[in-house]
Structure 1
Amino acid sequence: MTEFYDLQKKRRSIYALGKNVNQSQDELVKTVEGAVQQAPTAFHSQTVRAVTLFDGSHDKLWDIVADRLKSEVPTEEAYQKTLQKINGFKSAYGTVMLFTDTDVVKGLEENFPLYADNFYDWSEQGLGMALYSIWTTFAEMGIGANIQHYNPIIDDLVRKEFNIPENWRLRGQLDFGSIEAPAGDKEFMSTDEQFKVFK
């Protein structure tokens, strides 16, 4: 198997994250930017946008999530469990917020009407590949990460706090940091259920 295959196995959802990261913030930003730029998008449309948060900005995002969820969780006991989970994300070193530029998607729909019904789906594929690229590169650097999806309930609050353009649609929050505990064993469904081969 290739080195990339081994690296794929190294990329896991790590939830025990800390702030003991050896790389500088500038190096991490360049890593995110490079990973996004090298990830493919349909028609090379470059629909993915990324905002990297450190320090107080990282904390602020998870405070927004915690405050917003207070009105969604039915009981105080349930909220305290939710808060414990959110504080785990806040314990990480930083977060990459991933967005889709909907203006680019709309432009493609208008300019290529034959494929108009596909461009949003293709933008989601592009975002997934960019996410995977960032996450796998972090794994190569010895940095753990996990992806969260508190959009759309935090979208307006995030837009206001971080001055996010109206046409950027939040799609996920990748928190990252030092690996304080490894991921557990990974189970796979049977190959007969998951794959078909025709010759």
Structure 2
Amino acid sequence: MSLLQAIQSRRSTYRLTNKSPIPDTRIQEIVNFTVRHAPSAFNVQSARAVVLFREQHEKLWDVGLQVIQTEMPPAVRPVLETKVAGLRAAYGTVLWFEDGAALDALKDKNPAIQGLIPEWSAHSSGIHQFITWTALDNEGLGCNLQHYNFSTTFIENVHKLWNIPSSWKLQAQLVFGQPEGSGPEKEKEIQPVEGERVLVF
């Protein structure tokens, strides 16, 4: 599949099973490739990743369930608990971080632009997430991207459970697993591009 075809076919998939059509080593290869080759501002290479499989992945979403039950309003808990159960039922999660120590060193070298570095860091993290997501999808895995780092409790537990360096700042959680059933869960609605979202001069 060409790169553009892979990008076109990528979807958020939520009905996932705790199986994988490819070995764990191949998933690790994809994450390693992404971290090695995705771009970053001034080649700072601040992206960090932690890959959790099976029981370790389930442990993560047990923390997610705890967050929902203790931090979210009672009215929305049932819906969110069901969502977290679906995440937990998947095969694994890639935790994406940005290393604050590397970014601070870049700021020290470039004081005139240090205010822009957090934004560039976010851009680079998004590129890492998208490359891995598209590559895993191309290998037959379904994925969805989560941001439970809205919760301080979630962040603290992630650092504690897997002994993550304190300078690593959690950005997102890419959940993956073998899709349940075949075909996309729903067609993606695409708004008009020419003349509305893309201007050419």
**TM-score, normalised to structure 2's length?**
0.93
Q: CA deviation at 1:104?
A: 0.8
The equivalent residue for 2:171 is 171
The equivalent residue for 1:30 is 29
The equivalent residue for 1:18 is 17
The equivalent residue for 2:56 is 57
Q: Where does 1:33-44 land on structure 2 (aligned, <5 Å)?
A: 33-44=32-43
Distance 2:59 2:18 in 1: 16
The equivalent residue for 1:190 is 192
Q: CA deviation at 1:19?
A: 2.2
The equivalent residue for 1:160 is 160
What SS class does the counterpart of residue 171 from structure 1 fall into?
strand
Match of 2:98 among 97, 100, 112: 100
Distance 1:68 1:78 in 2: 13
The equivalent residue for 2:73 is 74
Cα deviation digits, residues 63-118 of structure 1 (max 9, x gap): 0010012122222x632221110010011110000000011111111111122111
Distance 2:191 2:25 in 1: 40
RMSD: 1.4
8 Å CA contact 1:36–1:133 kept in 2: the answer is no
Cα deviation digits, residues 32-73 of structure 1 (max 9, x gap): 111221111111111100000012110010000100121222
Distance 1:20 1:94 in 2: 9
The equivalent residue for 2:119 is 121
Cα deviation digits, residues 131-187 of structure 1 (max 9, x gap): 111011111101110000000311111111111111000000000010114231111
State the aligned residue count.
Answer: 196
In structure 2, list runs of 5 or more residues that go unmatched. Answer: none
Distance 2:103 2:20 in 1: 36
Distance 1:4 1:183 in 2: 22
Distance 1:24 1:78 in 2: 37
Pick which of 186-195 and 49-58 moved more.
186-195
Letter of the 1:166 counterpart: S
Q: CA deviation at 1:27?
A: 1.9
In structure 1, list runs of 5 or more residues that go unmatched. Answer: none
**TM-score, normalised to structure 1's length?**
0.93
Distance 1:48 1:82 in 2: 29
Between the two proteins, what is the percent identity of the paired residues? Answer: 33
The equivalent residue for 1:3 is 2
Distance 1:21 1:152 in 2: 29
